[in-house]
């Protein structure tokens, strides 16, 4: 339903944001929760791209490679993937609604960054645009 908004695309329960961290190294989530930036590397890209539900992002290999090439942290990579998804659909805003992702909302706060003039803000219960 949300994906039908003319300016916003919302992915369909991809689960890849926390799963790539968990499958690469469980301690990465703890490090993010402590405020650390996780350096982007090939193992994170590979794990995210090959997670079984990542196909729902509808991004080709070139888009994923470009996102990784222009990202020095996992946070930047996640943001670049969603920016590419939005651009592919001709929409300025792109986001995530996976229930398990939002169960780890404080972790996700650190994985998304500002998109254009909109800012993601988070509490433990919900996300909103300001």
Using alpha carbons, list the distances in angstroms from residue 66 to 37, 80, 95, 102, 109.
20, 9, 19, 26, 23
Sketch the domain layout of the chain as residue ranges: 2-129
Q: Distance of alpha carbon 51 from its chain centroid, rounded?
A: 13
Would you state the pLDDT for residue 130? Answer: 33
**0.75 exceeded by the pTM?**
no
CA dist., res. 60 & res. 55, Å (int): 9
Nearest to 49 by CA among 35, 30, 65: 65
Asked if 31 contacts 106 with a C-beta cutoff of 8 angstroms, the reply is: no
Q: Is the pLDDT of residue 117 over 50?
A: no
pLDDT tens digits for 9-60? Answer: 888 877 788 788 887 777 777 777 777 888 899 999 999 999 998 998 999 9
CA dist., res. 75 & res. 92, Å (int): 19
**CA-CA-CA-CA torsion sign (128, 78, 118, 34):** positive
Would you state the pLDDT for residue 2? Answer: 62
Q: Is the pLDDT of residue 104 over 60?
A: no
Would you state the pLDDT for residue 12? Answer: 80
pLDDT tens digits for 64-94? Answer: 999 999 999 988 998 899 999 999 989 988 8
Q: Is the pLDDT of residue 128 over 50?
A: no
């Amino acid at each position: 339903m949300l994906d039908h908004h003319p300016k916003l695309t919302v992915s369909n329960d991809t689960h890849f944001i926390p799963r790539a961290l968990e499958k690469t190294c469980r301690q990465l989530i703890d490090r993010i929760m402590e405020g650390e930036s996780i350096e982007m590397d090939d193992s994170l890209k590979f794990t995210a791209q090959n997670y079984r539900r990542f196909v729902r992002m509808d991004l080709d290999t070139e888009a994923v490679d470009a996102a990784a090439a222009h990202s020095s942290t996992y946070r930047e990579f996640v943001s670049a993937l969603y920016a590419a998804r939005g651009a592919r659909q001709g929409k300025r805003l792109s986001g995530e609604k996976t229930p398990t992702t939002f169960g780890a909302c404080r972790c996700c706060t650190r994985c998304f960054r500002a998109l254009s003039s909109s800012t993601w803000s988070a509490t433990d219960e919900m996300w909103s645009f300001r």
